[in-house]
Amino acid sequence: MWQDGRSVRVKICGLTRPEDAAAAERAGADAVGVVMCSDSPRSIGAGAARAVFSAVGPFTATVVVTHTADPGEIDRILALRPTAVQISYPHEVPADAGVRVIRVTGQGRPLPPGRADAYIVDESCGKGRPFDPAFARAFAERSSLPVILAGGLTPENVGAAIAAVRPYAVDVCSGVETAPGVKDHGLIERFIAAAKGTPQ
């Protein structure tokens, strides 16, 4: 299991509005994420992604989530210079691209090939489907890389999920929304407080 003794990190994902990114950072998010080149209702273009990322300071990580296998679209994503890209397909990200790579995995999927700096166990892809606790815990225990947990997480259940799986980080999208891509700032605050064990 990958552990470093620090509290769990939190990524607020599927952002479409700069004000939501700013609220996530104020609430203590370690990373903010946008979706690009995807059929997700939260997918945004490069200009909107740049605006979201510009709303946070230099110590908050920025992540682009994509489901594309098109090298040209990957290149456009890399041109934004995010901290990391989270990809579902075995596309190889150039080592000199200056970004971390998060590979998506889940129950029944082979371990994704290619360079990786972390894995995300995600059965949901923004649809609110819950993760499988047994699979997620077993994967986290045997991984030599940081493991991020996603899928069906909410302010009400994230604490128990962290206790069960002990991931490096948790990732929430629909669990803090009022509509796809529209975040509830109160839910963001509650989620981060619950994940980090901060009294409210």
Active-site amino acid positions:
13, 122
Cβ proximity of 88 and 70 under 8 Å? no
User: What residues pair up with 62 in beta bridges, in sequence order?
Assistant: 32
CA atoms within 13 A on the CB side of 84: 23
Q: In which residue are the tokens 């259940």 written? A: 157
Q: Residue 83 in contact with residue 99, Cβ under 8 Å?
A: yes
Residue 147 β-bridge partners: 119
Distance, CA of 61 to CA of 84 (rounded, Å): 8
Q: Beta-carbon neighbour count of residue 79 at 10 Å?
A: 11
